[in-house]
Structure 1
Amino acid sequence: MNDDKINENLIVKLSFEFSLMIIEFAEGLELKRKFVVANQLLKSGTSVGANIWEAQNAESKADFIHKMKISAKECDETKYWLLLCKHSTQYPNCDGLLEKIEVLQKVLNKIISTSKRIGN
């Protein structure tokens, strides 16, 4: 998959853009010496898109669904870390990221449910 494919697939585009935002947010946390949370957010937040990217070359429908479910779990974990940031003092505002993760979760859940129905 090349750069052109990012814009051709909604979930790939959303997750790629989200990953870039997470990288920027995590770098800001590191500047504030919030290393543990920055590392956790960087791992889970970029894993969402990495698994979606990998799902585009799934070996089967079941493999596709499995990879998308992993992405959904990574969304949940990322949301947890973002909520910790939101409700902790001395952390920057992350409301924009929380809004983006909500959209990602809705699209992912729709893709997973539709994929399960189609062809069964």
Structure 2
Amino acid sequence: MEKRNEVLELSFEFALDIIHYCEELENNKKYVLSHQLLKSGTSIEANGKEAQNAESIMDFVHKLKIAAKEAEETEYWLQLCLKSKTYPSSQKLIDQIGSIKKLLNAIIAATKRKLTN
């Protein structure tokens, strides 16, 4: 039985939600932000998946840091959407990305602590 990986599960569900949100943006002709969000929002889990096959612990941390950077970028685009009056609400996605960011940062910090001990 495969061990549960919460960060990958959350980021996969988030990627699916981002795809749906971006489709809604495109239906409203909001192409530029849709494209940016689709790229950054779906790459979080892609980098998390890459980390699962890291060549070393440092490589693992590096790949998760990339995922964390993508999460930060995604949050930025979602905040822009939230504050723009002509965009659909992105609050649910902002809440989701907040949880993913916390989890990624906790994993990165815990892994770094293991390296120094």
Question: TM-score by structure 1 length?
Answer: 0.93
Mapping for residues 1-120 of structure 1, pairs under 5 Å: 8-120=4-116
Q: Deviations over 1:33-65 (max 9, x none)?
A: 000000000000001111001101111000000
Q: Deviations over 1:16-43 (max 9, x none)?
A: 0000000000011000000000000000
The offset of 1:119, in angstroms, is 3.7
The offset of 1:89, in angstroms, is 1.3
CA separation in 2, counterparts of 1:119 and 1:38? 39
- List structure 1 runs of 4+ shifted beyond 3 angstroms: none
Give unpaired runs (5+ residues) of structure 2. Answer: none
SS at match of 1:89: coil
RMSD (Å) for aligned C-alpha atoms: 1.3
CA separation in 1, counterparts of 2:48 and 2:115? 21
Quick one: which amino acid aligns to residue 49 of structure 1? E
Overall identity of the aligned pairs, in %: 51
CA separation in 2, counterparts of 1:29 and 1:35? 7
CA separation in 2, counterparts of 1:23 and 1:82? 13
